[in-house]
Copies of this chain bind each other. A is one copy, B any other.
Amino acid sequence: VSEERRAPFDPIAGGHAPRREEAAVEFNRIVAFSDGVFAIAITLLVLGLGISGGSADLTHALLGQEADLLAYVISFAVVGRVWIAHHRFFAALERFDSTLMGLNLVYLACVVLIPFTSAVLGDYEQHPAAVILYAINLILVSLAFQAQIVYAYRRDLVWPQAREFERRLAGPANLVVAIVFAISIPIAFIDTLAAKLLWIVVFVVGTRVEDRIASLGGSRSD
């Protein structure tokens, strides 16, 4: 409490990066804001579903939604996974500065696009352009996340225990996502469903690998 009274005013920006304990309220606000954006973005995915009010044959209209539903399932899994990765990254942060806040906003701007690109993916299931748009969106998300990881590592913003973990494992694991989505772009020209299946396969495998990696990081910190 005494420490809190000593430096109650601490604008986030500045030459020095405030330590997490020193500016706990501010740090929590950034985390809460990011989580709020994630929670809203993931919930807005439902707006991609929707049938026009005047359908004569409801059963037929609902069964025709399978592309929308597939896009919903893919995007929910993707946003959920991206959120968990972001969650882990912020758990590994010891300090932050205004540049990291800016990078985080750029990253969130890419995440918030997902409900839009996901809706396009559901509405234009046969179009390679829809798959490519979605892939570009997720490549941007990965790169913006990578920028945060690299910056935090270079500026020593990460807990010492987590430094190696971030550099050797979390960073490469994230780049794999970008590479897989890049590979899916040429595949989309041949078959759009094949591109989506590739995402799902990589997602299921990647999730297991990522959890294994995170568990290594966890045992190393003990």
Contacts and interface: CB of A to CB of B under 8 A. Distances in A.
Given A32-B32, A35-B29, A98 B211 contact: yes
Interface string A161-203: 1100100000000000000000000000000000000000000
A201 to B, nearest CB: 17
Given A36-B35, A37-B43, A39-B36, A49 B10 contact: no
Contacts of A214: 11-14, 98
Interface string A125-152: 0010110010000000000000000000
Q: Determine how many copies of this chain the complex contains.
A: 4
Q: Give the bracket for the number of chain A residues in contact with chain B.
A: 35 or more
A108 B43 CA distance: 9
Interface in A75-130: 76-77, 80, 83-84, 87-88, 91-92, 94, 98, 101-102, 105, 108-109, 112-113, 115-116, 119-120, 123-124, 127, 129-130
